[in-house]
């Protein structure tokens, strides 16, 4: 839209007098609708005090990663997700490849989630709880480098949306 704006009052020594032509274009830099993505990820989880890698079918929706045992469980209305990771509580600013010190498994990235402590929260291999807050460090591994890049891109868009819109 083009519109002429007339400067009616300007100080005597102002370089602005007369007519100013202004052309502006506006576009949404970040979608208010969070991205979605589905596929397998292998998640490092605490099982009875020991760490275990479990392959899960994951779906990013509404700024959360939901995960099930099998892809068909997602479409089955009677099956609740096996778990979820709420990206609105993500302390990680930008998802990146896990350092070799954190994990030697290839195609792994890290998400750190900080939430208010719940009754029963305890410190474990992946969780630290101080009574007020609980921090969980999720190690997520994709099947290939290309899939890892896709997951990281989607999750970074989600985090950008979360931080921009304060979801």
Q: Which pLDDT does position 30 carry in this prediction?
A: 47
Are 79 and 51 spatial neighbours (Cβ–Cβ below 8 Å)?
Answer: no
Tens digit of pLDDT for each residue in 45-95?
998 889 999 999 999 998 999 999 999 999 998 899 999 999 999 999 999
Tell me the pLDDT of the chain averaged across its residues: 87
27 has a pLDDT exceeding 60: no
Burial 42-68, CB ≥16 within 10 A → b, else e: bbbbeeeeeeeeeebbbbbeebbbbbb
* Residue (of 25, 163, 143, 17) closest to 90 by Cα position: 163
Count H helices and E strands in the chain, helices first.
2, 9
11 has a pLDDT exceeding 90: no
Q: Which pLDDT does position 34 carry in this prediction?
A: 55
């Amino acid at each position: 839209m083009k519109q002429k704006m007339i400067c009616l009052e300007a100080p005597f020594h102002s370089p602005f007098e007369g007519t100013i032509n202004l052309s502006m274009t506006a576009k949404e830099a970040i979608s208010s609708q969070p991205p979605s993505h589905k596929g397998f990820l292998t998640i490092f989880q605490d099982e009875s005090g020991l760490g275990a890698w479990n392959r899960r079918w994951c779906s990013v929706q509404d700024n959360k990663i939901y995960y099930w045992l099998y892809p068909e469980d997602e479409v089955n209305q009677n099956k609740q997700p096996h778990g979820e990771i709420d990206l609105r509580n993500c302390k990680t600013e930008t998802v990146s490849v896990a350092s070799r010190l954190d994990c030697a498994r290839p195609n792994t990235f890290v998400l750190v989630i900080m939430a208010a402590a719940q009754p029963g929260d305890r410190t474990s291999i992946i969780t630290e709880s101080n009574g007020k807050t609980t921090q969980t460090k999720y190690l997520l591994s994709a099947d290939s480098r290309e899939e890892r890049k896709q997951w990281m891109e989607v999750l970074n868009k989600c985090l950008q949306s979360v931080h921009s819109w304060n979801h």
